[in-house]
Chains A and B, each alone.
Chain A
Amino acid sequence: EIFELKAELNSDKKEKKKEAVKKVIASMTVGKDVSALFPDVVNCMQTDNLELKKLVYLYLMNYAKSQPDMAIMAVNTFVKDCEDPNPLIRALAVRTMGCIRVDKITEYLCEPLRKCLKDEDPYVRKTAAVCVAKLHDINAQLVEDQGFLDTLRDLISDSNPMVVANAVAALSEIAESHPSSNLLDLNPQSINKLLTALNECTEWGQIFILDCLASYTPKDDREAQSICERVTPRLSHANSAVVLSAVKVLMKFMEMLSKDLDYYGTLLKKLAPPLVTLLSAEPELQYVALRNINLIVQKRPEILKHEMKVFFVKYNDPIYVKLEKLDIMIRLASQANIAQVLAELKEYATEVDVDFVRKAVRAIGRCAIKVEQSAERCVSTLLDLIQTKVNYVVQEAIVVIKDIFRKYPNKYESVIATLCENLDSLDEPEARAAMIWIVGEYAERIDNADELLESFLEGFHDESTQVQLQLLTAIVKLFLKKPTETQELVQQVLSLATQDSDNPDLRDRGYIYWRLLSTDPVAAKEVVLAEKPLISEETDLIEPTLLDELICYIGTLASVYHKPPSAFVEGGRGVVHKSLPPRTASSESTESPETAPAGAPPGEQLDVVPTQGDLLGDLLNLDLGPPVSGPPLATSTVQMGAVDLLGGGLDSLMGDEPEGIGAPNFVAPPAAAVPASLGAPMGSGLNDLFDLTSGVGTLSGSYVAPKAVWLPAMKAKGLEISGTFTRQAGSISMDLQLTNKALQVMTDFAIQFNRNSFGLAPAAPLQVHAPLSPTQTVEISLPLSTAGSVMKTEPLNNLQVAVKNNIDVFYFSTLYPLHILFVEDGKMDRQMFLATWKDIPNENEAQFQIRDCPLNAEAVSSRLQSSNVFTVARRNVEGQDMLYQSLKLTNGIWVLAELRIQPGNPSFTLSLKCRAPEVSQHVYQAYETILKN
């Protein structure tokens, strides 16, 4: 077949030739390999038939990369075509040339491109503008060297609006890969040009320009307002993308306007209708619009507060539209419209799609929490739904009723009986956990609470962690409320949790309860049955800083995913964090300094980021998945709180003799359990709680890892040591943190190192000035030298340490990061580097992959440099950045490195050459730590 095509391609008849090329393209689309025909097809290129030419170009774009040498054959024709009198052909040539991603060709592309950028015909210029972006993608350096960026910038002042739009698009894209360079150089003059072009160019051009405008920060509120005034007409454009991009600009600049301004109110009013109109677009666009409206409603609820009805779900809406509408309905629910909303939600709860029904049921619960006046109606609606006995509806309802209880305690307990009837039908962990929580929380009002909980206990090990944890807590609560009848039950669950489970969370919680109950049941009661904080009314809000960032990305994928671009875009592109501009007044307008994001009164914010105190009470119920989805910060505060709470009591337990335990009215755990609980398992379990101390690395000098616990208090009779290594200004030190977790004072500290691979030794004695009293912590920096005696250790960077105090001598070992040994004069000169590289035998070369490192070559180089890894040379080979680096260890060993970085690919390849190849592995680890922290 290929043979026949070959013959046809070489035929004299034009028609036949064209048909043959068509066939080739058809085969190509199908996926057949027709690259063998390359020379024959390229021969057809010299034709004045535009259609044939286009086909040949299409073929070229596909195969040039796999046949770079032959692709050169086409260059001549391209260059010739760029001079063609027909502007369509000139543009076609320059457009296609940019798509041929062969390095050799790009060199030939420069001249024609330069001409085309200044072509008399706007069609050619607009095509050339995009071509600069293409070329930049292949070879960024070349574009900068050739000065194309300046030419491109000049095109922003072009007389033709489409040329302007494409130049803006190209510049914006290039700017994304150079976040720091002020490529676009937006200033009031250039903004004015863009705004003028905005009125005249195609719908797509308007999008490019609006997206570019959104990245500009006006200097004051007057400028912001004048831009807004010129952008608002775009809200009536038929193209939804133009509308959304205009909304983005307005939402962003509005941030700078004072709320007292009349214009601010006008703008708010103007935004609502176009947003609603987006909902009559095709379903896919509706989806994009709804995801964005979801953000806008969170940022500025006032815009759409009267538009509830348009978000009512239609029976035939695609499921993705339904789910989004539901989400927005809940956000807009208020006292004014709650009756309507509830009626709708009840309707939805009878639909077919399981996900949608579940969400609708959950929404009813959220309404109850949000609008207090409606709570009663919501609860009765939920009870009605439970009566339907549809399994997933019942389970979902129970989960939300649990939340309602947490918001309005002691108000709706009458429904508990109904809930208990459905106990058997619950098969989802979340629902089971919720039900158990309810039983535990209201144990005193449920006569057979013990029986109910006991029934769950039978299959304890088959339950999910969530349920196990909840069951444990619930039974402890029950015990504290009705101690007489439930001793057996509580012992059963404690031993199940502590002895038979591998789950550290469960085990730890079991131990905490056990300790608590055995030390001081009164305190236990205060802790476990403490009054809980009410849950917040607004749930699953997007965290404010993320929300602000997403507002800057309205209309884009980020706003659809509700994730910042860095979460789904590879490489350096678009990873720059955007943020809303601060409000700046141009004149003397007196304005209250408002730091909280507009639209969110401070009170609401508190709810999103729970305070430490709140969480403390909540700590023991945390795994229920409270609807408060706090930022990561929350979890760390919880732990801190826990330490404060339990610290004293537990410390005494650890240091003390076993006889000390056992409160009078508590039946001690089985004998076997007592020593076990004091021994290793408990210790390791509790360690997690104490692993909190973390030092913050110094900013100058090489990278410093956070402090890790080297010697747990368990193993050292109450002395806990954590530490890390630093290197600063040529000296190494060991930063230690000593904590006394015993009950007695510690004095007489001393430290010694075992012989090690690099001769590390303390350069001064360990100086703890004052005696260390119980619960006290002291920070010490111990200078180290490398003059100690040397013995090769396994692993190479292992360090054995002995610490003595008045109580005993303790031993531990730790691994030090190799980069603390990289000396300051580790830079080799280039010649030397080359020679050494060649000199070291190839078998000494080791190759490693550094994965998921988002840095670019510059950042990598500078970061390594601060840890004394020096970049000797840098080259760009086939689009990859090659860094040649050297470093020297304290004992004079040189290590040479070649780091290969491909733009856009987060995996680097590291090749190391060293005369002592055994260090390579550790050097690689040092690279990893430096680059990833």
Chain B
Amino acid sequence: MIGGLFIYNHKGEVLISRVYRDDIGSQAADSAVFSSSGPLQEEVVSKPEAFSGNRRNAVDAFRVNVIHARQQVRSPVTNIARTSFFHVKRSNIWLAAVTKQNVNAAMVFEFLYKMCDVMAAYFGKISEENIKNNFVLIYELLDEILDFGYPQNSETGALKTFITQQGIKSQHQTKEEQSQITSQVTGQIGWRREGIKYRRNELFLDVLESVNLLMSPQGQVLSAHVSGRVVMKSYLSGMPECKFGMNDKIVIEKQGKGTADETSKSGKQSIAIDDCTFHQCVRLSKFDSERSISFIPPDGEFELMRYRTTKDIILPFRVIPLVREVGRTKLEVKVVIKSNFKPSLLAQKIEVRIPTPLNTSGVQVICMKGKAKYKASENAIVWKIKRMAGMKESQISAEIELLPTNDKKKWARPPISMNFEVPFAPSGLKVRYLKVFEPKLNYSDHDVIKWVRYIGRSGIYETRC
């Protein structure tokens, strides 16, 4: 299991250090953190023998071999002297889990992400300053969510009931409150507490999709998929039992078995989902057997499900590139984009990024719509269009002047990438219903106000040129 957890800043100084197991070393971390003058090596040296044992080796080994490594990181898992380090990076903060055993690697990374989520839920952005300001809280959290290297309940909803920044006053808690906390933390429904009340029962569903594309210069789709998320924000009283339905091909075909007519009608609108994963509140065995999605939601916002589709994707934009090399010192680029959706809908925040060679000396651009600029620092022409309706077309042309180089290596021609946002789901997913039942309280499904929104964004949307 996880032997220890360290948080470093970008300089490699330790901000948080929690050691769970002796095999990686016994005590807290080293080196100066709160003094901004960099590591105070002298102080470290002067520490007593018992305090500078092998634990420092582990801490230092990671700093030297990974954070300060000259090379780019070649693997998120590093083995140094029979000790394994797992790391993730958030802005310029490094989180590293250390172990000497054959741990479940996927679990360690999932835990590190979760740890980031929990910290973000408590104090916002994960930055050096925030971590320093909240170090007591972080230690308290680490104590709770990781016991002897075994991850424990890490749902922020549950954690916030008993780990607060104000410091809990145990004497004010009644016995019932205490046992309610513990039963929630360990219980079957660890993500929701009892006795939630709202005057207005309301819920919001966001279908957020990111559409990914890799297209050849000739316009052939090399790979395309949509990865989508259904995010739910609920303000519901009691312990509501919810059932979510969408136009899943398998479900619709099952239902439509009776009337062949209906099958052909609805079959058109249904979509084939390659795979989906659910929040832990969803009853997986029920989904496996009946393909129905039922759950008791956490209070507030959470991600109900993720899914992936690859069939019949609506590609909102098509990019047609044309790159011509004119002699050794000039490139002519023409890029056409075509929008491919209902004319009544509007795409927003459109951005096309056309990479330029490293030896570019100057660029002239002409575009019909939006604004385009050559950004030397990013080696790209960035073309921005605020809004664009469906079934339209726009184009940009550019002349790129090149400095003559004796570099033999050809320019790698990175793909042209695109960003956008459209008000529909490119996968074709539709929410059919979300039913709410709360048998104990007197509100029915009809009393709940429901909102549904679809947003399609570009994921990695690239066309090679």
Q: Which residues of A contact B (CB under 8 A)?
A: 18, 22, 25-26, 28-33, 35, 48-52, 54-55, 57-58, 62-63, 65-66, 85-89, 91, 95, 98-99, 101, 121-124, 126-127, 130-131, 133-134, 137, 160-163, 166, 169, 173, 199-200, 202-204, 207-208, 211, 230, 232-234, 236-241, 243-245, 273-274, 276-277, 280, 282-285, 287-289, 309-310, 312, 314-316, 318-320, 340, 343-344, 347, 350-352, 388-390, 553, 555-561, 565, 568-570, 573-574, 904
Contact = CB atoms under 8 A, between A and B. Distances in A.
22 contacts: A29-B28, A31-B28, A49-B170, A87-B182, A122-B187, A131-B148, A202-B155, A202-B190, A204-B107, A204-B152, A232-B288, A236-B275, A239-B110, A241-B109, A274-B277, A280-B306, A284-B87, A310-B225, A320-B75, A320-B76, A556-B104, A557-B77
B70 interface: no
Nearest to A51: B167
B28 A276 contact: no
B9 interface: no
B363 interface: no
B332 interface: no
Given A50-B167, A122-B183, A58 B139 contact: yes
Given A26-B135, A284-B109, A237 B100 contact: no
A54 B74 CA distance: 39
Interface stretch (B41-49, B260-268, B338-346): B41-49
Given A29-B16, A238-B280, A352-B412, A207 B104 contact: yes
Given A202-B280, A555-B104, A22 B74 contact: no
Contacts of B288: 232-233, 236
A556 to B, nearest CB: 5
Contacts of B106: 240-241, 243-245, 285, 288-289, 555
A233 B183 contact: no
Contact of A98 (B34, B148, B408): B148
Nearest to B171: A48
Interface in B154-183: 154-155, 162, 167-171, 173, 175, 178-179, 181-183
Interface in B279-334: 279-280, 283-285, 287-288, 303, 305-306, 308
A780 B331 CA distance: 84
Contacts of A160: 186-187
A51 B284 contact: no
B194 interface: no
Nearest to A239: B110
A239 B113 CA distance: 11
A288 B97 CA distance: 15
B301 to A, nearest CB: 15
B88 A277 contact: no
A350 B410 contact: yes
B111 to A, nearest CB: 8
Given A49-B167, A58-B139, A565-B102, A315 B415 contact: yes
B153 A569 contact: no
B8 interface: no
B351 to A, nearest CB: 15
Interface of B: 1, 14-17, 20-23, 26-35, 43-44, 47-48, 50-51, 72-77, 79, 82, 84, 86-88, 99-107, 109-113, 135-136, 139-140, 143, 147-148, 150-155, 162, 167-171, 173, 175, 178-179, 181-183, 185-188, 190, 214, 216, 222-223, 225, 227, 274-280, 283-285, 287-288, 303, 305-306, 308, 408-410, 412-415, 417, 460, 462, 464
Contact of A241 (B110, B227, B280): B110
B107 A207 contact: yes
A390 B28 contact: no
A130 B113 CA distance: 23
B110 A287 contact: no
A62 B105 contact: no
A568 B153 CA distance: 30
Contact of A277 (B77, B171, B179, B308): B308
A95 B105 contact: no
A781 to B, nearest CB: 43
B23 A904 contact: yes
B170 A50 contact: yes
Contact of B109 (A31, A200, A282, A312): A282
B280 A237 contact: yes
B236 to A, nearest CB: 21
Nearest to A131: B148
A831 B168 CA distance: 61
A58 B284 contact: no
Contact of A22 (B104, B136, B182, B227): B136
B427 to A, nearest CB: 13
Most buried by A among B147, B171, B305, B413: B147
Most buried by A among B152, B285, B408: B152
Given A133-B148, A273-B275, A233 B105 contact: no
Contacts of B88: 282, 284
A570 B277 CA distance: 37
Closest 3 CB pairs of A and B: A273-B275, A123-B182, A241-B106
Contacts of A276: 274-275, 308
A319 B74 contact: yes
Contacts of B44: 31
A627 to B, nearest CB: 23
Contacts of B283: 199
B170 A86 contact: yes
Contact of A573 (B72, B101, B148, B277): B101
Nearest to A275: B275
Contact of A561 (B79, B136, B274): B79
Most buried by B among A25, A230, A284, A344: A284
B178 A29 contact: no
Contacts of B412: 350-352
B71 to A, nearest CB: 10
Given A121-B179, A565-B102, 10 more contacts: A31-B43, A54-B139, A58-B139, A88-B182, A89-B170, A127-B147, A131-B148, A173-B1, A236-B287, A237-B278
A245 B284 CA distance: 16
Contacts of A309: 222-223
Given A126-B186, A166-B150, A568-B84, A101 B107 contact: no
A236 B188 contact: no
A822 B291 CA distance: 72
Contacts of A245: 104, 106-107
B82 A121 contact: no
Contacts of A561: 77, 79
Contact of B30 (A31, A169, A556): A31
A91 B162 CA distance: 13
A252 B32 CA distance: 48
Contacts of B43: 31-32
A65 B178 CA distance: 33
A29 B105 contact: no
A931 to B, nearest CB: 20
Contact of A560 (B77, B162, B168, B284): B77
Contacts of A66: 27, 48, 50-51
Contacts of A347: 464
Contacts of A904: 23
B26 to A, nearest CB: 6
A568 B79 contact: yes
A160 B183 CA distance: 9
Nearest to A357: B412
A244 to B, nearest CB: 5
Contacts of B225: 310
A288 B105 contact: yes
Most buried by A among B17, B27, B287: B27
A33 B27 CA distance: 11
A211 B150 CA distance: 13
Nearest to B307: A277
B188 A200 contact: yes
A162 to B, nearest CB: 4
A280 B185 CA distance: 30
